[in-house]
């Protein structure tokens, strides 16, 4: 399959000879400061997988075009050169085959990292993802575990159209037995990847397509981010913005704009949906008394509804205003950029919601 590139001209990760990982840049160091290694989100995916392949010989990865091609998004560049065909498996174009092989490998002592190229294609292998993988440990009374990671490119904003742009974390959220991670920064990609691969339970790992070209500090050696631990990425006192994956930088941009108007917004990066760190959300709400949830799922059935429900059950007395959700519209994702921006959350939509809430 040809390389997939987005309209923002996503660059390719370059792997060194025989070694996975990316050509990491270095931020210029000021007086008295050490150089900071900068890495792209897509490079962090390859680096996170490579670190676990080096650490644990039971880890393997498989998927369409992940070997010599380095993945259609270049998120597995260099893995085949470093680890060889025994541990990096190119598969046929069959999502059912990929997850069937991964499940069998996990049940017999391996730790597979399986790639489903687009999250929309979960529909092609839904029986494995919803009915087999998450239930095996329970149905065998704990005698058989399924320690596998299902990686996938998720989300819209790049004009890929209705069948390649959906944000489907809510699909997985409806299935007991699956853990769900969705990082927003390169360092969190590496840290959450380590935790996901080491988990004895299946983890669905959503990599947002719109973040692949974004850059951030590289993860330090041995970096692991506990599954189910949210991060307060900006402190504030007037309103809490709860976000995930690509809506985190969007919420941060909205917070910057609101600050110019004297509104102090706290931004929480959930990082995971299962386990869901509601303790951090409720603690933030205790400081701000107002909540806006920013999600790319459709409003109908999106993960934000779960967060709002828990707040209503456990934090109602903390609220000084109604909970607001800024979510995608309940329509298929348009191909045209101008139409897609009318459907998914934007900085303008978030700032408008916050201003209305602070005036309540």
- Cα(290)–Cα(194) distance, integer angstroms: 34
Give tens-digit pLDDT for 23-57: 445 444 444 545 789 999 999 999 999 999 999 99
Helix and strand element counts for the chain (H, E): 12, 15
For CATH 3.40.50.920, the residue range(s) in the chain are 231-358
Three-state secondary structure readout of 284-302 = HHHHHCCEEEEEEEECCCC
Residues of the chain with CATH 3.40.50.970: 37-217
Summarised one tens digit per residue, pLDDT across range 122-157 is 999 999 999 999 999 999 999 999 999 999 999 999
Q: Distance of alpha carbon 353 from its chain centroid, rounded?
A: 24
Topology of 37-217 in CATH? Answer: Rossmann fold (3.40.50)
Which CATH number describes the domain made up of 231-358? 3.40.50.920
Catalytic residue list contains 340: no
What is the structure's pLDDT at 29? 46
**DSSP assignment of 87-117, as one string?**
TEEE--S-HHHHHHHHHHHHHTT-EEEEEEE
Question: Which is catalytic among the residues 64, 95, 295, 340?
Answer: 95
Please give the pLDDT value at position 7: 38
**Cis before residue 275, ω within 30 degrees of 0?**
yes
Catalytic residue among 164, 207, 295, 340: 164
* Secondary structure class of 317 (helix, strand, coil): helix
Taking the model in full, what pTM does it have? Answer: 0.92
Catalytic (active site) residue 164: yes
Predicted confidence at residue 14, as pLDDT, reads: 35
Looking at residue 324, what is its pLDDT?
Answer: 98
Q: Which residues of the chain fall below pLDDT 50?
A: 1-19, 21-24, 26-31, 33
């Amino acid at each position: 399959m040809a390389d997939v590139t987005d309209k923002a001209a996503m660059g390719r990760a370059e792997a060194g000879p025989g070694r996975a990982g990316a050509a990491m840049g270095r931020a210029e160091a000021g007086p008295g400061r050490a150089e900071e290694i900068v890495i792209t989100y897509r490079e962090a995916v390859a680096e996170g997988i490579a670190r676990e392949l080096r650490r644990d010989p039971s880890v393997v990865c498989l998927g369409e075009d992940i070997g010599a091609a380095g993945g259609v998004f270049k998120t597995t560049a260099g893995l085949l050169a470093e680890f060889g065909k025994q541990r990096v498996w190119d598969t046929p174009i069959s999502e059912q085959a990929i997850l069937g092989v991964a499940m069998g490998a996990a049940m017999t002592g391996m730790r597979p990292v399986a790639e489903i190229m687009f999250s929309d294609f979960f529909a092609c292998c839904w029986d494995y993802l919803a009915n087999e993988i998450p239930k095996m440990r329970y149905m065998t009374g704990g005698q058989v575990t399924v320690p596998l990671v299902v990686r996938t490119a998720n989300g819209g904003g790049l004009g890929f159209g209705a069948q390649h742009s959906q944000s489907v974390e809510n699909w997985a959220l409806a299935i007991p037995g699956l853990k769900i991670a969705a990082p927003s920064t390169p360092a969190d990609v590496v840290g959450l990847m380590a935790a996901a691969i080491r988990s004895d339970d299946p983890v669905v790992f959503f990599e947002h397509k719109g973040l692949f070209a974004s850059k951030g500090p590289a993860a330090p050696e041995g970096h692991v981010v506990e599954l189910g631990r949210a991060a307060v990425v900006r402190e504030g006192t007037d309103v809490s913005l709860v976000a995930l994956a690509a809506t985190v930088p969007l919420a941060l941009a909205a917070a910057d704009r609101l600050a110019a108007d004297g509104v102090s917004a706290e931004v929480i990066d959930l990082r995971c949906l299962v386990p869901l760190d509601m303790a951090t959300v409720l603690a933030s709400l205790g400081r701000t008394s107002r909540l806006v949830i920013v999600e790319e799922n459709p409003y109908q059935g999106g993960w934000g509804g779960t967060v709002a429900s828990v707040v209503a059950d456990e934090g109602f007395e903390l609220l000084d205003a109604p909970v607001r959700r800024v979510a995608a519209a309940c329509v298929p994702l348009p191909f045209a950029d101008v139409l897609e921006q009318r459907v998914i959350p934007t900085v303008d939509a978030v700032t408008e919601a916050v201003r209305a809430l602070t005036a309540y």
